[in-house]
Amino acid sequence: MTTDALKSKTVLISGGSRGIGHAIAVKLAAAGANIALVAKTDQPHDSLPGTVHTAVQDVEDAGGTGLAVVGDIRNDDDVSRAVSATVERFGGIDAVINNASAIDLSPAEHQNMKRYDLMHDINARGTFALSRAAIPHLRASAHQEDWRPKILTLSPPLNLDPAWFGKHLAYTMSKYAMSMTTLGLAAELSEAGVSVNSLWPATLIETAALRNIPGGEKLARGARTPEIVADAASALITGATDWGTGQFLTDEQVLSSVGITDYDRYAVDPSAELVPDIFL
């Protein structure tokens, strides 16, 4: 994979102010991509560092060209504006990464319905809305020589083990809706030459959000850094590995396909036992 594998290509990412989305944006920028980030974080958070503006600065420091779109993917006008602004600035859209997500692991009996709505509006509806709005531009991107446009969604494999529904039904439903979007769009867009896949970490990923939850510091010791997901996403977006379309992949699967099997470099604490991610 060359350092300019994505030169002149444009990637639209939901979220990306911090955590996994930020790591992916910076990684793709280093490969030469234009990065458009649509996120709500216009101002710094009290306990979570980073805004969409600082993320764009990091993208440009990495060698890419960035565009910050302050918006909420729950809002149809904001989604349309993000797509339009990206096309106006960069001339098109070559890949979409659905990274934005909300989480609440409460069981159904104790689930706050406002949190339920938040998860389904961001995870399920937001993923569908942003992907849908970008489809005409992804179809156009498919006409480029030696390039296959892509939609990559950070969502788990569809695992119908009742345990995942019983533990946190509302969250499971919202994340599986993201994965169903992958499955459906892969079939719908196969003839257009658009690749649609999901990516999920094999272990917990260390982020500020993880550290902020009760017991988060302990969990973070058994996690990997966001760079493992960023490296896997980069391999998929650049085409360094081709898994076709409609696949549910883990970061380990993708990286092993490009010859990376030593994951110790990503461990937060190499001496700690790794904590597997949910849904696997």
**Which parts of the chain sit beneath pLDDT 70?**
1-3
203 contacts 232 by C-beta, under 8 angstroms: no
**Largest alpha-carbon pair distance within the chain?**
53
Task: Give the closest residue to 237 by CA, choosing from 55, 19, 35.
Answer: 35
The one catalytic residue in 171, 176, 263, 266 is 171
pTM to 2 decimals? 0.96
Quick one: how far is CA 60 from the chain centroid?
19
> Catalytic site residue 171?
yes
Handedness of CA 236, 19, 132, 95 (dihedral sign): negative
pLDDT digits (tens, 9 = 90+) for 165-192: 999 999 999 999 999 999 999 999 999 9
Token pair in block for residue 143: 């006409």
C-alpha to C-alpha distance for 62 and 130, rounded to whole angstroms: 25
* Residue 122, CA distances (Å) to 59, 103, 127, 175, 253 in order: 24, 10, 7, 10, 27
Q: What is the pLDDT of residues 53-73, one digit of tens each?
A: 999 999 999 999 999 999 999
Cα gap 38→73, rounded to integer Å: 8
